[in-house]
Amino acid sequence: MKMMNYYKIKIIIYFFMSRSLLKLLFLFITAVPIWAQKKYSFDQICERASVQTASKDIPKALKVADSLYMSAQHPLDKVKSLLLSAELYHSAGEFKKSICYGENAHSLLSQISDPEWFSRVNEFLAKEYRLVGLYQRSKKYTLQGIEAAKGITDSQKKSEVLGLLNQEMAYYEMEQGSYPDAIKYIELSLNAFGNDNIQDNGRAIAASYQILGDVYFKLKDYVISESCYRKAESLLKENCCILGLVYNGLGGIRLKQKNWKDAEIYLKKAENLADSSRSLKFKKAVYSNINDYYEGTGDTFKASLYAVKYVRAYDSLTARSREFAMRNPDTPAKPNKKSTQISIVKNTAIIVLIVSLIGIVIFFKTKQKKQRSKFRNIIRTQLQMISSRSESSPLKAENPDFSNISVEEVDDRAGGVDKKRNESLMTSETEAKLLELLDVFEKGELYNNKNMSLSFLAAELNTNTKYLSYVINQHKSADFKTYVNRLRINYIVDKLINDEKYRQYKISILADECGFSSHSKFASIFKAVTDFSPSAYIKYLDAENQSGKDVHIRENT
């Protein structure tokens, strides 16, 4: 009996030992693939968050990216997770955060020796800084990326990165107006992508052709430009910003050809994509072309609507560029330890230099103010000369075109007999009161109202048209239409001098701003008052601000 119990116990022990051995064996067999899975899971999670999750839920994808960064053990993994976050913020239109994460990834590049990721981080930052208008900073990262890409061993990845980086150089050269160099970089980009990888890099290759179409459009070679746009269009199978730019380019070509029907078709397609896009540059380009379309077809109301849209996009883009310019200056070099041993003489020299620089800045600022004051005095002198000429013959003898351009097509003239009669009927108190009201009128902006007329203003001032016409003729040395036009030009001149953004606006927008019904009327009256066309006047101001010297622009009249 004891012997049987002994064998039972032995069998039970053997059974449990066998199960343990089987478990150990199972764990050993599965340990290798589990370890291998962990090795590659980081890249797989990055790709899943970037492609799958981001398309459905960007906040969720960002949480995944943050957790990847927290769990990353190596600098390269940290770079990958930071760049993933940067790309996700770019997709969400949050450029501040996208650049911040991109710069953090760039700061870790010194800890890795992977030329592919070094190039990718630089290419991303180059694109982001270009989109916010910091082209010099974009160029710096582009050149760093091109240099690093030379060390990529995988030929396919090397070609892809070099194709994108050469696109960035083409953008930079376009911004500088170096169109032949831009063409050279686009050709390098297309050569890098090659013909074998069109399916994999279809959108990137389409972007190269779209840029090339823009370059030839700038060169006014519309045949080649359209050919490039068509190649880009054939490569794009779904709606995207690049396709919108292609449609806008084709619409621009039709505008140059005055083919209004086809221009409308392409620009409507571009507008549909622009309205749903976060790209301010894309919106600005499309709204500019649509404004030109309505100007060309004579629909001034719709032209004004798109002028407003254009200005909003322009102002937002300018504000964003200025903000990034202030927030992202190039990092100054850190002083070394020996800097603490600088002698008193050197410190004194530095202080003197700083004081001198401040003095120079103050000097030029003061000089600039004096120049602007001088410029305004020139305008005032011109206006006084025009006023004095109007006493004898209100601008008809010397500039008949100006006299024929009126605020409204009404008869607001008062003959000499009427003047005397009005003078006898109107009391001195009424005349003085009207002058006070006109002073208030001149300080406001009511004269920019497009409905402005002699009867309109008389109603506003609670008087009659005869009294008002008499006071303006006698005390303002001009008839009503010349008086109002002069106020409008004074208003826009003041804006051009004191607010630089007005110099970036189209002439049609300036005309609309101060109440003129057309670009041509505004330009004619501006030239009559200032002796400059609006575009020449703006160039004068820009040249004065840049050089700090008296600049004289002569026009062929």
pLDDT of residue 331: 40
Count Cβ atoms within 10 A of the Cβ of residue 4 and give its class: 0-12 exposed, 13-18 middle, 19 or more buried. Answer: exposed
- pLDDT category of residue 249 using cuts at 50, 70 and 90: very high
Question: What is the length of the chain?
Answer: 557
**Mind listing the pLDDT tens digit for each residue in 278-337?**
787 888 889 899 989 998 888 888 888 888 888 887 777 777 666 666 655 544 433 444
Rounded Cα distance, 8 and 342, in Å: 92
User: Tokens in use for 285?
Assistant: 């380009």
- pLDDT category of residue 46 using cuts at 50, 70 and 90: low
- pLDDT category of residue 380 using cuts at 50, 70 and 90: low
pLDDT over 50 (residue 105): yes
pLDDT of residue 302: 84
Which range, of 100-109, 191-200, 275-284, 458-467, averages the lowest pLDDT? 191-200
Q: Where are the strands (E) in 155-264, listed by range?
A: none
Cβ–Cβ < 8 Å for 469, 434: no
- pLDDT category of residue 392 using cuts at 50, 70 and 90: very low
pLDDT over 60 (residue 504): yes
pLDDT over 70 (residue 454): yes
Q: Which amino acid is at 19?
A: R
- pLDDT category of residue 268 using cuts at 50, 70 and 90: very high
Task: Tell me the mean pLDDT in the region 466-473.
Answer: 88
Chain mean pLDDT for the chain: 75
Task: Tell me the mean pLDDT in the region 58-72.
Answer: 82
pLDDT of residue 346: 54
pLDDT of residue 35: 39
Count Cβ atoms within 10 A of the Cβ of residue 261 and give its class: 0-12 exposed, 13-18 middle, 19 or more buried. Answer: exposed
Cβ–Cβ < 8 Å for 424, 509: no
pLDDT of residue 134: 86
pLDDT of residue 19: 53
Cβ–Cβ < 8 Å for 253, 225: yes
pLDDT of residue 367: 62
pLDDT of residue 28: 43
DSSP 329: P
User: Which tops the pLDDT comparison, 344 or 137?
Assistant: 137
**Mind listing the pLDDT tens digit for each residue in 161-195?**
888 999 889 899 988 889 899 899 998 888 888 75
**Residue percentage of the chain with pLDDT more than 70:** 68
**Mind listing the pLDDT tens digit for each residue in 400-409?**
333 334 454 3
Q: Is the pTM here over 0.75, yes or no?
A: no
- DSSP H helix total and E strand total for the chain: 25, 0
pLDDT of residue 555: 39
pLDDT of residue 430: 85
Rounded Cα distance, 330 and 106, in Å: 14
Task: Tell me the mean pLDDT in the region 150-171.
Answer: 87
User: Tokens in use for 172?
Assistant: 């930079």
pLDDT over 90 (residue 36): no
Task: Tell me the mean pLDDT in the region 65-86.
Answer: 84
Task: Tell me the mean pLDDT in the region 248-268.
Answer: 92
pLDDT over 90 (residue 248): yes
Round the CA-based radius of gyration of the chain to a whole number and report it. 35
To which residue do tokens 């940290």 refer?
78
User: Which tops the pLDDT comparison, 71 or 266?
Assistant: 266
pLDDT over 70 (residue 95): yes
Phi, psi of 477 (to 5 degrees): 55, 40
**Residue percentage of the chain with pLDDT more than 90:** 11
User: Tokens in use for 277?
Assistant: 């896009």
